[in-house]
Each structure stands twice: as structure tokens, then as C-alpha cells.
A and B are shown apart, each in its own frame.
Chain A
Amino acid sequence: MPLAYLSDYSWDDVIPIPQDDGGENPLALIAYHDDYKIATGYLRAVMSIEEVSDRALQLTSDLIFMNPAHYTVWAYRARLLFALKKDLEEELIWVEEVSRQFLKNYQIWNHREVIVDKYDNPIRELPFIEEMLELDSKNYHVWSYRQWLVRRFDLWVTELAYTDHMIQDDVRNNSAWNHRFFAVFGKGEDVGQSVIDDEIDYAKSAILKAPQNASAWNYLIGLLKRGERPMSDIEKFCNDLAAVQTTEHAVNVDNDRISSARALEVLADIYNSRNEVDKAAQAWTLLAEKYDPIRENYWKFKKSQAIQRLAATA
């Protein structure tokens, strides 16, 4: 039963190599469809002599549609494209078709990187990446690929605006926040204090929209550390979200005005850094008992660590 692609090219001279699954009674056998069995038989045959031909290229196209996770086929395809000096833009267009059909596949992105690197032109990339992220806004491999692309072609200027667009869409999209951190600091240059100030304001305004949003908080704390700013810079901001009244040794929380457990956590860290362990301990107790009880053990651990440290220094 000749398959469609087998009639495009002559395969008469090729003896397919059957798959050897090992022994008489191998584990995890798959009942392949016939076309896949036939195609992989020819693949093993042409790869065994590293054949460079249009029919081999066609074979890789067919196999990728049958099993896009077949990394061996992708790697062979890249070698064929280069050896046959194929039009790489045409390849990129073809890969886009495959990607639309197999959204979660990740071999595609390594292949695309190999092709674009050789093609040496990123013109199709950002629009295509954006299309993919519209469909799946947290796709790990697409974001990683975007990072590679930005570095490879020095495309830093568009990135802050793009992450803002994605964050506006979903302020909880952590991949977009991670990419923003990369966009600000990835070049490895000294970014300057005014940039840090702007980013701190950006993160704060995002937090005000959804005060429990861990993505924006992680970004804010990451900025402070990277910019070597003390946590106490955001004490007032946290107080507004966690409505904590403190006396010398005690923390009182107005229940109705707690809108962010994370603000309370940061306050605890600030108190602790000032050696106000009593106050920090009370904040951790509130987290453990009331505001973040699934992490009770962690808050208790923080508390006991701080108390031990205090005892050791006393």
C-alpha cells in the first residue's frame, strides 16, 4: 500500500530497515499505524547512509506531521536543509504551519533557532512569537526562544513595551514578568537608578490592581535586591496594604484592611532586619494562623530561625 508521499519519489532502490524493539518480548511496544511504520523504516534506511536528497527531506516533513516530538527527524531535517541549500525563509513558513498545529511541541523551537541562526535574519520572528503567545501566553519554550532571539539579534528596544502589553492582558502572567526582568537586566549593563525607580513604580501600580499577585511582588522584591535598595523602602507601601499598627513590641492587624498577605510577609522581613524580632514573630504568627496557613510550617520556621539568631547574638 504505497503512501501518498512514496509516489512522489522513487523508493525502489531503498530497503527499509525494520525497527528492532529488543528481544522476543519487548516492553512498551506501540501499535503504530502502517504509514508511520513504513516511513520510519525508510528513515532508518536513508539515515544509515546519511542520504542527502529531496526525497529524504520530504520524508522528514511527513514524519514530523505524524510525530512532531521525533527529535532525530528534526536534526536530520536541519542537516538536509543546509546541505541542499534550501530557501530558509520557506522553511520558517513551513515550521509556522507545524507550530500552529502542535502548539505544545518544543522540538520546533530548537529547530527554529537553528534555522534562524543560519538565516541570520529575525524579520519573521517577533510577529510569529506574538501569534503563538496570543494562543498560549505562558508557553515556556516560546518565551525562552524570544530571549535567545533578543540576545542574538540585539532586539532589546521593543521588549519593555511588549511585556507591558502582555502584563496589561493578564497581570498574573509570570512569564511576562520574568521576561520583563530579562528585558531590564539581561544585557548585563548597569541600568541606572532611574530605571530601577521606574520599574519599582511599575511593579507597585501592578500590585495595587491585585495585591495578592505573587508575580508582581516577586518582581518588586527582585528589583530591590538587584538595585541594592533596602526593603524598608517599601515599608509604607506594605503598611497601606496590610494595615498594620505597631507599637514597640506588638503588631495589630485590622482584619478588614488586609489586602495582601505578601505585604505582611515583607513587613515581617523588614522588622526582622531591624532586629524587631517580637514584631516580626507576630506577623509570622498571623501568616501561619490566618492569612497563609498552608505555609504554616514555613512561617513557624522563619520565626524560630529569627529567635535563634537573636539568642545567638545576645
Chain B
Amino acid sequence: MKVLALYSIKGGVGKTAAAVNLAHTAAEEGVRTLLLDLDAQGAASFYFRVRARRKSTVDRLLEDRDRVQRAIRATDYEHLDILPAHESFRRLERALDAVKKSRSRLARMLKPQRREYDLVVIDCPPTLTLVAEAVFRAADLVLVPVVPTTLSERTLDMLRREFKEQGLPRERLRAFFSLVDRRKRLHRDMLEDLPRRSKVAFCRSPIPVSSDIERMGLGREPVTRFAPQSAGALAVLELWWEVRRALGMRD
């Protein structure tokens, strides 16, 4: 079982859409996938129309593995289940701090899922605190959406230093361009220059800003489902191939 985390310290960069679309694409290939919606806003859960059980609160999930089992629900797609966000996930930071061995807690929580899933995709909350640290430790690959702007470059570098301070391997961190608008000069330049400059490895497939992806919220379906031939969906597919290779999963 491999763990892929979608992480961004900034909101609105296409992180949740990427998590949803990548998870769906993997499942379509027959990879048994669990999407873990840790973002209290619950956008990923919303896309899949799944509500959390009332009792699946963050405190219970952290203390009881059986709770985790019961909190997982099927999506409408084969091979794809989700652990939906519960409103209590807003307290995730505090709850995690309250338990022993907080930093490795998430990794241990996921361990029993090895029997049922080949891949766990985590949609992380936009924080750079204990939760992020726990996710970084649990993940085999931390994938960071980067909108091609100057500010994003600085944020990415901050994250790289954070990884270094925590003693995490740099290979675990990977960036991809998100919300790319090729009509903008700046975007085209950044696409060209940033991967060369940055100490963080970049995926080669940028995800374009796309009306189809924006429409995901209306139809509440992954773009790879309702418009599989759209530029957005095809970009996701190429990104998935790169991620799959980076995770060392079979073609």
C-alpha cells in the first residue's frame, strides 16, 4: 500500500480537485484506493456526495481503529472508497496533540488498511503544524500543487526547508503546476524556469486552469468521470502516470 498526500499551505490552488481526480483515475485502473479527507472543509467528501457518520468524530477515530473501519464509505465508483471529513476535523490539530506519539499516529492508523487498499490519497488541510508533520511521516509521496507565480516559489521553498528540518527525505516531496493559464506570459515563463531553479522536483504534467475542473462542484463528479476527454482530465491522467512511477507502483 502506498500513501500519496496532496498538500498545500495555501488554499484555492487546486489541491482537493487533484486529490479527487487522481484517486478516481487510480481506481479506474483497478487500483484499490482510499481517499482520506482530512480537510475540515470537506470539499473532497462533497464532490463524492458522501457525508460522515455523526459518530465518526476525530477523537474517536484517533483512539479506535475499528472506528476508522466503520467510518470508511463506498463512493459511486468501483475500487474507490472515502473516509469523509467530519466537522470535528477542525479540531484535528488539538486532538492529535492530545494523543501519544502524535507524529506517527496517522501512519499507524493507516497500517491496517494495507489488506484492503493499494493506495491511500490524503487531502490535507492547509496548515504547517503537527497535522502536516504527521501526514509527511505517513506519506510515501507528498505532492504539492504550485500555481506559477513568484509567491508560490517562495512558499514551496519554505516547505522544502521544513522537510529538511524535520529530517525527511527530499525525494518524498514533489511539486506539480496547477491552475496553469498558458495565455499568461508569467505562467509560461515560470513553467519553463521554476523546475530548473527549484530544489524541489517537479512533475512534467501541468494541470491547466479549466472550466471543466471548475464545473466539478456543480456536477459533484470527478472531471475524469464526466469529461474524460477534456484537457483537464487528460492532464490528470498524465500526472497520475508520473505519480504512479514515483510511488513505484506497477503499470
Bound pair (A, B): no
Q: A residues near B, CB below 8 A? A: none
